Structure 1
């Protein structure tokens, strides 16, 4: 399964590399696009859960790294959820 790193810029300017065990991230995000924090959080949750399930279908167990990444995104997003107009930008994808 091809892995992917997607780089995001948080509303405070911090940049983070995020991991996915699948290219499914491309179905949910577009590099250069801004997403509200809530939209980013929802899409990341769906995409990383789907990626983990793809691993389960192929290997018989979920991808714990994808689920940890999902949890890390939830944690990082919490600080911005109540900031009006806060945006997360998808900077890039890399294989």
Structure 2
């Protein structure tokens, strides 16, 4: 199961990376797109829960790394209370091959 790193730019310009154990995140995020913060968090919730579920289907247990990534994104998002805050997906990469 290929893992995916998602490179993000937050409303203040900070860049971070989130880890997903599954490519299911490609169904929820597109490189080069910017999402309103609430939409981004909703997509992240769906994507990382689906990724963890895929790990469970293959290995018999949920992925704590996916849940840790989701928790980290929620924590970061709390820093940006503005209604017009947006998160940009700079790239999604699997095994060193980046999609931009």
User: TM-score range with shorter-chain normalisation?
Assistant: over 0.9
The CA distance in 1 between the partners of 2:24 and 2:10, in whole Å, is 21
Q: Which secondary structure state, in structure 2, belongs to the residue aligned with residue 38 of structure 1?
A: helix
Query: What is the TM-score of this pair, normalised by structure 2?
Result: 0.92
Partner of 2:61: 61
Partner of 1:30: 30
Q: Which secondary structure state, in structure 2, belongs to the residue aligned with residue 94 of structure 1?
A: strand
Q: Which runs of 5+ in 2 are unaligned?
A: 95-100
Partner of 1:89: 88
Q: Which secondary structure state, in structure 2, belongs to the residue aligned with residue 16 of structure 1?
A: strand
Q: Which secondary structure state, in structure 1, belongs to the residue aligned with residue 41 of structure 2?
A: helix
Q: Which runs of 5+ in 1 are unaligned?
A: none
Cα offsets for 1:23-57 (capped at 9, x unmatched): 01110011110100100001001100000000001
CA-based RMSD: 0.6
Partner of 2:98: none
Q: Which secondary structure state, in structure 1, belongs to the residue aligned with residue 6 of structure 2?
A: strand
Cα offsets for 1:44-95 (capped at 9, x unmatched): 0110000000000110000000000000001111111x30211000000111
Q: Which secondary structure state, in structure 1, belongs to the residue aligned with residue 71 of structure 2?
A: helix
Q: How many residues align?
A: 94
The CA distance in 1 between the partners of 2:21 and 2:37, in whole Å, is 22
Partner of 1:79: 79
